[in-house]
Structure 1
Amino acid sequence: MQRPDIDVLLDRLRQSYPDARYELDWDTPVHMLVATILAAQCTDERVNAVTKTLFPRYPDAQAFADADLAELEEAVRPTGTFRQKAKAIKSACRMLVDEYGGEVPQSIEALVRLPGVARKTANVVLATCFNIPSGVIVDTHVIRLAGRMGLSEHSGPQDIERDLMRLVPQDDWTFFGPAMILLGRYVCTAKKPDCPNCVMQDICPKIGVAR
């Protein structure tokens, strides 16, 4: 399978996005966890608009755990599937309080036990809050780019993550995910990839992209 040289790809990502980070606003690991749960099937911009008022109202895990569920549902309604998200946030924060002293655990095994938390959410929290390379963040942008660049022949996020973890040095995992997300969000978009202005133009096989 044709694919770019990973060292060249990483070098160009660093030149384009030297300070790459996940674009959710947060001030504590608990808030990052909540924001990431809210970001499922929702834009970061909308989540950030909601959390601007949500976080002052619920400053820590205890506050979310004790929240009135109906009030929490109403507060997160703009992010979609709000009943499911509110229930997951309240339950996850109750578990944080009961088992981890209200703090976010720093292992992927512990995080994925929390309601509403899968590998992507856990990877985001560990990479963003603690700079822990637990894996590679794989969202819709990374799935799309991995296919177009020939980095993975799989379609499922877990299979794609395994492929990327084999290709990308572990020291680069916390940078690679957010940088690829930015490239996918602003350049290699779903409907109209801007190949002529992409830093990967000459090394990308452009798999599945209309010529």
Structure 2
Amino acid sequence: MNREKRQEIFTRLRDDNPHPQTELEYNSPFELLIAVLLSAQATDVGVNKATRKLYPVANTPQAILDLGLDGLKEYIKTIGLFNTKAVNVMKTCQILVDQYNGEIPETREELEKLPGVGRKTANVVLNTAFKQIAMAVDTHIFRVSNRTGIAKGKDVLEVEHRLLRLVPKEFLLDAHHWLILHGRYVCKARKPMCGSCRIEDLCEFKEKDKYID
């Protein structure tokens, strides 16, 4: 895919959604961090249902520690893998209290040292909470990047690096949001909605004719 196509793709995505946001609900960097940590192999809708009850009661590292492990589990038990996630959340909160005065570190290296926080989670927090240029490549972004030809790669890290290099600079800050929303609602895994896609004429998906009504 050439530079002109990428420019036009992101221009259209921006025109349709000038200020894209994560669908996870949060009011602070800490709330976002916990929501993203809980969202692994779970839906944003499911996480939001749990955090709507949790955050009014405990939305700081110390407050969650005060709940105790069993107390936290009661709030997140509807989320997949909640037992493991609860342990990681408690460990993360303890580190934040002990080492960061309850604040969220603003570097990937520090974030990735927190239990349950991998590169993708760290990138989401850096990009969404701290407005740093970072590309959190999940299954949606990996699929869209490869399928459209925007940034092909054999694994998520390669796609991340290629997106950071190939997406025009003016779009880099919000590109991850546009791509994930496009993958979630239009360029779906099993049945992409090519017939109603805003970038169908620019997309290089070889099989798109099968999905155009």
TM-score (norm 2): 0.92
Residue 154 of structure 1 is matched in structure 2 by: 153
Asked if the contact 1:3/1:150 (under 8 Å) is kept, the reply is: no
Question: Which of structures 1 and 2 has the larger relative contact order (alpha carbons within 8 angstroms, sep 6+)?
Answer: 1
Q: How far 1:141 sits from its partner (Å)? A: 0.8
Count of residues paired in the alignment = 210
Q: Are the equivalent residues in 2 in contact too, given 1:3–1:205 (CA < 8 A)?
A: no
Q: Within the alignment, does 1:84 sit opposite 2:68 as a pair?
A: no
State which drifts further: 169-178 or 86-95.
169-178
TM-superposed deviation, 1:156: 1.9
State the one-letter code of the partner of 2:38: L
**How do residues 9-48 of structure 1 correspond to structure 2 at under 5 angstroms?**
9-48=9-48
Unaligned runs of 5+ in 1: none
Q: Deviations over 1:67-91 (max 9, x none)?
A: 3112212321111001111111111
Query: Any residues of structure 2 matched to 1:1-211 within 5 Å, and which?
Result: 5-133=5-133, 135-207=134-206, 209=208, 211=210
For the 8 Å contact 1:22–1:124, the answer to whether it is kept is no
CA contact (8 A) 1:69 1:87 kept: yes
1:4 CA displacement: 7.0
Secondary structure of residue in 2 paired with 1:57:
coil
The 8 Å contact of residues 148 and 205 in structure 1, kept in 2 or not, is answered as: yes
Q: Compared with structure 1, are the counterparts of its residues 110 and 208 closer, same or farther at alpha carbon in structure 2 (3 Å cutoff)?
A: farther
Give per-residue Cα distances to partners, 1:132-151, cap 9 Å, x unaligned: 11x21211110110110113
Q: Work out whether residues 194 and 208 of structure 2, in 8 Å CA contact, stay in contact via their aligned partners in 1.
A: no
Task: Give the alignment's TM-score, normalised by structure 1.
Answer: 0.92
**Structure 2 Cα separation of the partners of residues 174 and 84 of structure 1:** 32
Q: Distance in 2 between matches of 1:73 and 1:99?
A: 24
Q: Measure how far apart 1:124 and its partner are.
A: 1.1
* Percentage of identical aligned residues: 39
Kindly tell me: are residues 65 and 189 of structure 1, through their superposed partners in 2, closer, same or farther at Cα, counting changes over 3 Å? same
Conserved? CA contact 2:7–2:168, under 8 Å:
no
One-letter code of the match for 2:172? Answer: W
Tell me if structure 2 keeps the 8 A contact 1:150–1:207: no
